[in-house]
Amino acid sequence: MARYFTEEHEWIDVEGDTATVGITDYAQEQLGDIVFVELPAVGSTVEKGKDAAVVESVKAASDVYAPISGEVLEANGALEEDPALVNSSAEEEGWFFKLTIADKSQLEGLMDEAAYKSFVDGL
Protein backbone atom coordinates (compact mmCIF):
# COMPACT_ATOMS: atom_id res chain seq x y z
CA MET A 1 0.00 0.00 0.00
CA ALA A 2 1.34 3.43 -0.95
CA ARG A 3 0.70 6.49 1.23
CA TYR A 4 0.76 10.04 -0.09
CA PHE A 5 0.30 13.47 1.52
CA THR A 6 -1.01 16.87 0.44
CA GLU A 7 0.04 20.41 1.37
CA GLU A 8 -3.38 20.74 3.03
CA HIS A 9 -2.36 17.94 5.46
CA GLU A 10 -4.49 15.10 4.13
CA TRP A 11 -3.08 11.61 3.74
CA ILE A 12 -4.21 9.06 1.18
CA ASP A 13 -3.54 5.33 1.18
CA VAL A 14 -3.77 3.70 -2.23
CA GLU A 15 -4.56 0.02 -2.60
CA GLY A 16 -5.44 -1.08 -6.13
CA ASP A 17 -8.26 1.15 -7.40
CA THR A 18 -9.35 2.23 -3.91
CA ALA A 19 -8.04 5.04 -1.73
CA THR A 20 -8.55 5.83 1.96
CA VAL A 21 -8.37 9.50 3.01
CA GLY A 22 -7.80 11.19 6.36
CA ILE A 23 -5.97 14.09 7.96
CA THR A 24 -2.44 13.94 9.29
CA ASP A 25 -1.25 13.93 12.88
CA TYR A 26 0.12 17.42 12.23
CA ALA A 27 -3.34 18.64 11.16
CA GLN A 28 -5.12 17.20 14.19
CA GLU A 29 -2.48 18.70 16.50
CA GLN A 30 -3.09 22.13 14.95
CA LEU A 31 -6.86 21.76 15.30
CA GLY A 32 -6.89 20.60 18.92
CA ASP A 33 -9.75 18.55 20.36
CA ILE A 34 -12.00 17.34 17.51
CA VAL A 35 -15.68 17.61 18.45
CA PHE A 36 -17.49 16.95 15.15
CA VAL A 37 -16.80 15.45 11.74
CA GLU A 38 -19.05 15.82 8.68
CA LEU A 39 -18.34 13.10 6.13
CA PRO A 40 -19.27 12.86 2.44
CA ALA A 41 -22.27 10.74 1.47
CA VAL A 42 -21.60 7.27 0.10
CA GLY A 43 -22.13 7.36 -3.67
CA SER A 44 -21.24 11.05 -3.95
CA THR A 45 -18.40 12.20 -6.16
CA VAL A 46 -15.51 14.25 -4.80
CA GLU A 47 -13.19 16.34 -6.96
CA LYS A 48 -9.46 16.75 -6.45
CA GLY A 49 -8.75 19.91 -4.46
CA LYS A 50 -12.41 20.51 -3.56
CA ASP A 51 -13.85 20.19 -0.06
CA ALA A 52 -15.05 16.68 0.72
CA ALA A 53 -15.56 16.72 4.50
CA VAL A 54 -15.54 19.08 7.47
CA VAL A 55 -13.76 18.66 10.78
CA GLU A 56 -14.62 20.87 13.75
CA SER A 57 -12.54 21.34 16.85
CA VAL A 58 -12.85 23.50 19.92
CA LYS A 59 -10.63 26.00 18.03
CA ALA A 60 -12.02 26.05 14.49
CA ALA A 61 -13.84 24.31 11.67
CA SER A 62 -11.76 23.21 8.69
CA ASP A 63 -12.51 21.72 5.32
CA VAL A 64 -10.95 18.41 4.37
CA TYR A 65 -10.07 18.42 0.68
CA ALA A 66 -10.13 15.46 -1.67
CA PRO A 67 -6.53 14.62 -2.65
CA ILE A 68 -7.87 13.00 -5.84
CA SER A 69 -11.21 12.67 -7.62
CA GLY A 70 -13.46 9.65 -7.21
CA GLU A 71 -16.70 8.20 -5.94
CA VAL A 72 -17.12 7.77 -2.19
CA LEU A 73 -17.42 4.06 -1.35
CA GLU A 74 -17.52 4.28 2.44
CA ALA A 75 -17.51 6.89 5.20
CA ASN A 76 -16.04 6.13 8.62
CA GLY A 77 -19.21 5.98 10.72
CA ALA A 78 -17.13 5.54 13.89
CA LEU A 79 -16.22 9.24 13.65
CA GLU A 80 -19.86 10.30 14.00
CA GLU A 81 -20.04 8.56 17.38
CA ASP A 82 -16.47 9.34 18.45
CA PRO A 83 -14.90 12.29 16.55
CA ALA A 84 -11.98 12.23 19.01
CA LEU A 85 -10.70 9.15 17.12
CA VAL A 86 -9.15 11.71 14.78
CA ASN A 87 -7.06 12.99 17.71
CA SER A 88 -6.07 9.59 19.05
CA SER A 89 -5.48 7.83 15.72
CA ALA A 90 -5.46 10.39 12.89
CA GLU A 91 -3.49 8.25 10.47
CA GLU A 92 -5.11 4.88 11.27
CA GLU A 93 -8.56 4.43 12.90
CA GLY A 94 -9.49 8.09 12.33
CA TRP A 95 -9.72 7.85 8.53
CA PHE A 96 -12.54 9.86 6.92
CA PHE A 97 -13.64 8.12 3.72
CA LYS A 98 -12.76 5.58 1.04
CA LEU A 99 -13.18 6.25 -2.66
CA THR A 100 -12.64 4.76 -6.07
CA ILE A 101 -9.70 6.27 -7.90
CA ALA A 102 -11.03 8.03 -11.00
CA ASP A 103 -7.63 8.96 -12.45
CA LYS A 104 -4.37 7.50 -11.10
CA SER A 105 -2.37 10.29 -12.75
CA GLN A 106 -3.78 12.62 -10.06
CA LEU A 107 -1.50 10.87 -7.58
CA GLU A 108 1.47 12.49 -9.33
CA GLY A 109 2.51 15.60 -7.48
CA LEU A 110 1.41 14.32 -4.07
CA MET A 111 4.19 14.00 -1.48
CA ASP A 112 5.64 10.83 -0.06
CA GLU A 113 6.28 10.58 3.69
CA ALA A 114 9.81 12.01 3.53
CA ALA A 115 8.71 14.99 1.41
CA TYR A 116 5.75 15.67 3.71
CA LYS A 117 7.96 15.56 6.82
CA SER A 118 10.31 18.05 5.18
CA PHE A 119 7.32 20.24 4.21
CA VAL A 120 5.97 20.26 7.80
CA ASP A 121 9.45 20.94 9.24
CA GLY A 122 9.55 24.08 7.07
CA LEU A 123 6.28 25.49 8.43
pLDDT tens digits for range 48-70: 999 999 999 999 999 999 999 99
What pLDDT does 4 receive? 98
Residue 43's pLDDT band (cuts 50, 70, 90)? very high
Residues 6+ apart with CB under 8 A from 32: 57, 58, 59
Nearest to 111 by CA among 28, 25, 7, 1: 7
Q: What is the pTM of this model?
A: 0.96
pLDDT tens digits for range 68-77: 999 999 999 9
Residue 1's pLDDT band (cuts 50, 70, 90)? confident
Structural domains in the chain plus CATH codes: 2-103 (2.40.50.100)
